[in-house]
Amino acid sequence: MSGIARFAPVRLWARSLPFRVVILTLGASIAILVATGWFLLDQSSRGIIEGKTQASVAEASAVLQSMQTGLNSTDLRTTSINERITRLAREAATRGQYGNQYFVVVETPISTIAPDGLDAASIPESIQQSMTAGDGLWSTPTLIRFTDGRDSEPGLVVASNLQPPGQQLYPVFFIFSTAAERQTLAVVQQATLATGLFLLLGLSLMVYLISMQVLQPVRAARRAAERLAAGHLDDRMAVVGTEDQASLATSMNHMAEQLARKISELEGLSLVQQRFVSDVSHELRTPLTTIRMAGEVLHANRSAFDPLTARSAELLAAEIDRFEELLTDLLEISRFDAGAAELSLDEVDLSAVVHEEVAAVARLAGEFGTELILDAPQRCHAEVDTRRIRRIVRNLLTNAIEHGERRPISIHVRGNDDAVAIAVRDHGVGLSKTDAKLVFDRFWRADPARARRLGGTGLGLSIALEDARLHGGRLTAWGRPAEGAQFVLTLPRRAGDQVTESPWPKRPRDTQGGSDAVA
Amino acid sequence: MSEAYEGPPRILVIDDDEALAEMLDIVLRSEGFDARLCHVGDTALAAFHEHRPDLVLLDLMLPGRDGVDVCRDIRAESGVPIVMLTAKSDTTDVVKGLEAGADDYVPKPFKTQELVARIKTRLRRHVSTEATDDVLRIGDIAIRVDEHTVRRGELEIPLTPLEFDLLLALARKPRQAFTREVLLQEVWGYRHASDTRLVNVHVQRLRSKVERDPERPEIIVTVRGVGYRAGEPR
């Protein structure tokens, strides 16, 4: 779960354009906002603190001025300097309670005059050291601490020296509270932060909406493409919106039209092809029928002819048979090519069908001197086009007889839950590796030098393969030179179902290795 | 149905291909039939009326009136056996012809023997059913074998000879389920034939004539996975 959770954003990044745009925009705007926010806060805090410092310094220097004046005008004969300073400090402190509030601390050699509760540590040492230089005003920020339990607060110390007549300097410290300014700054900070957050949220939402708006035509195009792919060639996109959107829709629609036109063109061609096959069929078959009947009349009366004419009549009759076979096979192949082949399904026992076909070629096998061994231990029902299955089986059997070198041929019929297999195994000339790949090719001949005794059109296995495929089954060839060949036809119990495992291995159990051609 | 039967059986050949028609004429004559030729669909019905043939050989592709229409025309007024000659063995064409009333079909190119065997089977069925005075019953209909008639109550149901043969084959063994192959052999005289369309189409045609509700047949009952059997007599 955690793995998925960890990778979910990554996947979302890879998959979702709006997500990407929003994240990128967020990143960029956070950077900009942080920079401007920092600048804003820095500027405002500087301004505020500086203003406060200036005001404080001005006030302090004014007070200091009056203290100095008061001190100068003091008649030291009537009052001690300390008393005078103490009084001046009090006056200053009294002034400090109004307006720009401050505390006054005056250090005299005898004592430090300071308000009650103020911690002496509130005055940083650094300023005390720097002010020994004499004349001038110094200021520094500080933390105002109290001894009477009040909370410390930020402040500003403005320091100077009182110069009474005589050499002694009296350091005077004005401690201004900057709590109000700090508060103002905090408010500004909060406001900035809040504004930033609002901006971020608003921006994200806006960018998301905009990206959706931009994506909408892309998505519409995608949906349209999917509809097209699903075969709804008449579907069109609505041409609306901006120029870009509209031109996208127009292009998509144009593509759809072209596709539809091309497809209907091809369909038309396919129809023409089927019509052509059908027409050729009719046109060739009628004269062939006449020729065949004429040939048969001649053949039947050949005893009345001289030997040469009689033999000609025989050849004529035989070749008409071959011609017809070839025509039939060619038309069958064209029908497959045109996709016009249709199954006429019946539920039959394939063991019985194979049994009948073996019986049908028994005479031929006898002529060759080949033994046929049928191994069909149980009934194997399947939904098949019997005519096509008979044709396949007969083809495999005659091939095996022709190439079987008179050695026994075994025929196996087996079934499992969802498939039935018919295997024909011979021990004749066999197939080489290249042969095994070519056996299903049209007009392919195992060995052109070998005389063919059974004729055949050279299309038999091609048709057998197409027939097997039409059922959703398969036909495999295995062979090894001089060790024979095995063809296995595997058919689903229900036509069109998927065959997963054949009940009979495509490679014979009594051998190992060899070359396979699988179709 | 049985007409006076004198001389060789008459066969009307309707085929636009003159060479084939002439060849058929030669072959049929040598086999002892009396063949007549017709080359155009438009005049086929007239030729039929003129020659009163015992069997019609009909090419499905004809100039003028189409073979299927000619078939329908002839069937509308006669139960005479019609054998189609088809160059297209594709399902739709053959089924169209059978539905129009043809009894059987021979795909081109055919062998003479094959054609003659088909013709003889149809003619034999037409003329010979051994004379018995049996009355067979399926469902609520009665078959009088000697009369060649089928009745529901007093109402006679007109059937072609082939349809009659098909019904009779089922009725003779009332409890037996017939496979389509067996019916092809018994009624059409085929051996090793696997074209079950012939049986299916004719059963449909027969049902449309004898059943009260062809959607729920009671005379010719379908036996799933096997074929057909006769309904129980009532």
Tell me if B126 sits within 8 A of B3, measured CB to CB: no
Interface test with A, best of B13, B20, B93, B118 (most A CBs within 10 A): B20
Is position B2 within any domain?
no
Q: Which of B127, B155, B179 is the last residue of a domain?
A: B127
The domain in which residue B167 lies consists of 135-230
First to last CA, chain B: 27
Are B145 and B185 in a shared domain? yes
Reference A414, options A405, A425, A406, A404; nearest CA is: A425
Beta-ladder partners of A413: A422
Is position B1 within any domain?
no
Is position B3 within any domain?
no
**Does the structure show a pLDDT above 90 at A67?**
no
Condensed to tens digits (0 to 9), the pLDDT of residues A419-443 reads 999 999 999 888 887 887 888 888 8
pLDDT more than 70, % of chain A: 91
Condensed to tens digits (0 to 9), the pLDDT of residues B33-57 reads 999 999 988 898 999 999 999 999 9
CA distance A351 to A342: 23
Are B16 and B121 in a shared domain? yes
Give the pLDDT score at A3: 46
Give the pLDDT score at A513: 57
Give the pLDDT score at B128: 45
Name the burial class of residue B62, with classes exposed (0-12), middle (13-18) and buried (19+) by CB atoms within 10 angstroms of its CB: buried
How many helices (H) and strands (E) chain B has is answered by 8, 12
Are B107 and B158 in a shared domain? no
In the predicted model, what is the mean pLDDT of chain A?
83
**Does the structure show a pLDDT above 60 at A56?**
yes
Q: Domain holding B90: CATH number?
A: 3.40.50.2300
Give the pLDDT score at B19: 92
Assigned fold of A233-341: Helix Hairpins (1.10.287)
Give the pLDDT score at B212: 87
User: Closest approach of chain B CAs to the CA of A309, in angstroms?
Assistant: 20
Given 2.60.120.1060, 3.30.565.10, 3.40.50.720, 3.40.718.10, which CATH number is that of A346-518? 3.30.565.10
Give the pLDDT score at A515: 52
Q: Do B110 and A289 touch (CB under 8 A)?
A: yes
CA distance B180 to B186: 10
Domain A1-230 has CATH 1.10.10.410: no
List the single residue in B with minimal CA-CA distance to A360: B192
Q: Label residue A100 by pLDDT band (50, 70, 90).
A: low
Q: Do B194 and A386 touch (CB under 8 A)?
A: yes
Interface test with B, best of A274, A285, A334 (most B CBs within 10 A): A285
Q: What value of ipTM does the predicted structure carry?
A: 0.83
**Does the structure show a pLDDT above 60 at B108?**
yes
Q: Do B194 and A387 touch (CB under 8 A)?
A: yes
Please tell me whether residue A161 adopts helix, strand or coil conformation: strand
Lowest mean pLDDT of A116-120, B68-72, B223-227, name the range.
A116-120
Condensed to tens digits (0 to 9), the pLDDT of residues A362-391 reads 999 999 999 999 999 989 999 998 889 999
Report chain B residues whose CB lies below 8 A from the CB of A347: 225
Report chain B residues whose CB lies below 8 A from the CB of A294: 23
Q: Domain holding B212: CATH number?
A: 1.10.10.10
Total of domains in chain B: 2
Task: Please give the average per-residue pLDDT across B126-140, as a whole number.
Answer: 66
First to last CA, chain A: 44
Condensed to tens digits (0 to 9), the pLDDT of residues A329-347 reads 888 887 787 777 888 888 8
Are B114 and B140 in a shared domain? no
Q: Which two tokens stand for residue A323?
A: 């011609």
